[in-house]
């Protein structure tokens, strides 16, 4: 292999690695922003930090969804999404604790 081919492969590999790192960084940023926005939404609706047991954010079919479990309702899960740039409760369900 000549030096030119090695440099080209290194360049392509570097660009791909850079794009993957950007994608993962963006994903982490979006999930953190969603969690922060849900906390702000819940606090503006009268909830305290101590009342929130767990918040998890994940990618889903409609976009990004935050799942919230409250301290006093550990058997239920509430789902929140962005709608027109605002956080809205999009659903809820009962957890199966078998």
Tokens of 12: 């392509």
* pLDDT tens per residue, range 32-52: 999 999 999 999 999 999 999
Q: CA 58, CA 55: separation in Å to the nearest integer?
A: 10
Which residues constitute the domain of residue 52? 3-94
Q: Domain count of the chain? A: 1
Q: Residue 21: pLDDT band by 50, 70, 90 thresholds?
A: very high
Dihedral sign from CA coordinates of 36, 41, 44, 47: negative
In sequence order, what are the residues at sequence separation of 6 or more whose Cβ sits closer than 8 angstroms to the Cβ of residue 40?
Answer: 87
Rounded to 5 degrees, what are φ and ψ at 36? Answer: -65, -45
* pLDDT tens per residue, range 39-93: 999 999 999 999 999 999 998 777 899 999 999 999 999 999 998 889 999 999 9
């Amino acid at each position: 292999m000549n030096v030119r081919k090695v440099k080209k492969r290194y360049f392509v590999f570097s660009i791909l690695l850079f794009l993957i790192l950007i994608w993962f960084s963006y994903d982490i940023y979006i999930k953190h922003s969603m969690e922060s926005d849900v906390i702000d939404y819940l606090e503006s609706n009268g909830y305290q930090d101590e009342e929130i047991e767990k918040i998890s954010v994940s990618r889903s079919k409609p976009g990004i969804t935050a799942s919230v479990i409250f301290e006093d309702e550990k058997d239920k899960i509430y789902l929140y999404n962005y709608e027109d740039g605002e956080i809205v409760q999009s659903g809820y369900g009962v957890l199966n604790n078998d």
